[in-house]
Structure 1
Amino acid sequence: MDTSITVKVISGLMILLLIIRLLGKKELSQFTPFDFVYLLVIGGFLEESVYDEKVSVWEVLYTIILWAILIYFIEAIVRKFDKIKPIIKGEPAIIINDGELNIKELKRNKLESEQLRTMLRQQGIFSIKELKFAILEPNGQLSIMKNEAYSPVTAEMLHLHPAKSSLSHQLIDEGRIKEKNLKFIDKDREWLLSQLNKEGYRDIQEIFYAEWSEESGFTIKTNS
């Protein structure tokens, strides 16, 4: 039994290294969801078969080699046919286009506005007003291009004096008031409704996204 386990583990490791080579020289952050599935399935094969005496070494080898061959052909097809690549690997999605939040792409990629804000904060962006473009990559990462007005280097080179920056707070998410955020900035619902009326918005349900900062005021995106 010990010999069988040893052979299974060694064989599995060799095939796993081969599959990693087939996936190419990528960092883990560059792996697409399909790439992770490849490796997870291999791990499942090994986990289920190593200590199962009913599964022979040859069955393990056959299963893993077959899986590796399938991966090889899928990768080859993806490289050869551009039309198939988006289906298998996914494609970039422009979430913010020329400073405008693309709600349709946000929903299509099952990305909530607060998730988007979290991803932006991780890159040092605290308001969508700072961005010109934001692209959701197939691996789930967010690539950004800052608006020229919010580029520190450009402002310094042109001797500009941009307004003092302050933290923005999301106050409305898909027609719902975020009471916790209102409380954090020491405001209440009445204040928010009054400010929205001044901005020309009387129905909260028509607002998809609204953020506010002390320096810049409101940034509002409606459902239309």
Structure 2
Amino acid sequence: MGPNWLEVILRSIITLIVLFFLTKMLGRKQISQLSLFEYIIGIVVGGIAAEISTGVGQNFLNGMYSLLIWALIPVLLTYLSLKSKKVRDFLDGAPVVVIKDGKIQEDSLTKEKHTVDDLASLLRKKNAFNIADVEFAVLEPSGELNVLLKKEKQPITPKDIQLQVAPEKEPKTVISEGMILDEALGFTGYNRSWLKAELEKLNVALDNVFLGQVDAYGKLTVDIYDDKIQLPKSQERTLLLATLKKCQADLELFTLATKSKSASEMYQNNAQRLEK
């Protein structure tokens, strides 16, 4: 005779607790992108559901009780995690530093059941092929490794070379499935006449446009239904840059050619402004 409903509930709760601590002992290496309870629930719910569906269980109703408990407990624990950081750290774990100041933290690595080869593999996924290039690395509760490269190994940014760049804004979707979105088009500062003129430059009919977006520089980019059609690439910004460089070169030439000191300073100042 199968266990009564109260015994089923107690068995489910005890099993959940035991599996949780066993999974904790296994470390984050086994979890990948799943949280501890997602990892456990995925295995157990599948096993219970299989037993119920195949009729192996002695009592269908007891199986449903058990399935319900396994489904409700994670919901309750998620709610408690949102309310308490201590509960969240206990259930999901806290981030663990495995590289600090360029040095591997062997104790932390061993605690998380990771070898040096495992660490090297995770670093390669972050395009860090040389451990000596890493300043700081932290193993997240999900099992993912986040890496901070040493300053001299980080890519150069405009700020590093004191280059001022225009703020980047999100593109506006102005065409969707062949329909013009007037409200979004209004935010760009352009109108339908401009949009139709840009489509004519691309030699694309409005009905054939699946998606059309305008970026912060006023460039229209479209995705069309017929992927076999090759759209011409816009050269406007390239031509503009070439024109500015030519103007700068002309001003520098004028600086050398004039005999007037004031004119020479004017040409030089404007050449520097164009360079910026």
With structure 1 as the length reference, what TM-score do the two structures score? 0.52
Q: Which amino acid aligns with 2:146?
A: S
Q: Residue 117 of structure 1 aligns to which amino acid in structure 2?
A: A
**What letter corresponds to residue 114 of structure 2 in structure 1?**
L
Q: 1:90: how far off?
A: 1.1
In 1: Cα distance, 2:92 partner to 2:81 partner? 8
The alignment status of 1:52 with 2:58, answered yes or no, reads: no
Give percent identity, aligned residues only: 25
- 1:94 and 2:101 equivalent? no
| Structure-to-structure mapping, 1:130-149, within 5 angstroms | 130-149=133-152
**CA distance in 1 between partners of 2:147 and 2:158 (Å):** 18
Separation in 2, partners of 1:75, 1:39: 16
Aligned to 1:78: 81
Give the Cα separation in 2 of the matches to 1:89 and 1:115. Answer: 21
> What root-mean-square deviation, in Å, do the aligned CA atoms of Structure 1 and Structure 2 show?
2.6
Is 1:40 aligned with 2:43?
yes
- The number of aligned residues is 132
Contact in 1 for aligned 2:81/2:87 (Cα 8 Å): yes
CA deviations over 1:44-94 (Å, ceiling 9, x no partner) = 101122111654543332221121222222222222222222221111101
Q: Is the 8 A contact 1:96 1:132 kept in 2?
A: yes
Offset of 1:29 from its aligned partner? 6.5
Work out whether residues 149 and 155 of structure 1, in 8 Å CA contact, stay in contact via their aligned partners in 2. Answer: no
What is the correspondence of 1:144-159 to structure 2 with a 5 Å cutoff?
144-154=147-157, 158=161
Aligned partners of 1:60, 1:157: CA distance in 2, in Å?
A: 63
Match for residue 62 of structure 1?
Answer: 65
Residues 110 and 53 of structure 1: CA distance in aligned 2, closer, same or farther (over 3 Å): closer
Give unmatched runs, 5+ long, in structure 2.
1-30, 162-276
Q: Which of 1 and 2 has greater Rg?
A: 2
Give the superposition deviation at 1:156.
11
Question: Residue 138 of structure 2 aligns to which amino acid in structure 1?
Answer: I
1:100 Cα deviation after fit: 2.1
Residue matched to 1:22: none
1:107-122 matches, within 5 Å, as: 107-122=110-125
The runs of 4+ residues in structure 1 deviating greater than 6 Å are none
Structure 1 position 138, deviation (Å) = 0.7
Q: Secondary structure at the match of 2:156?
A: helix
Task: Measure the CA separation in 2 of the matches of 1:46 and 1:66.
Answer: 13
Unaligned runs of 5+ in 1: 1-27, 159-224
Secondary structure of residue in 2 paired with 1:77:
helix
How far, CA to CA, are the matches of 1:72 and 1:32 in structure 2? 13
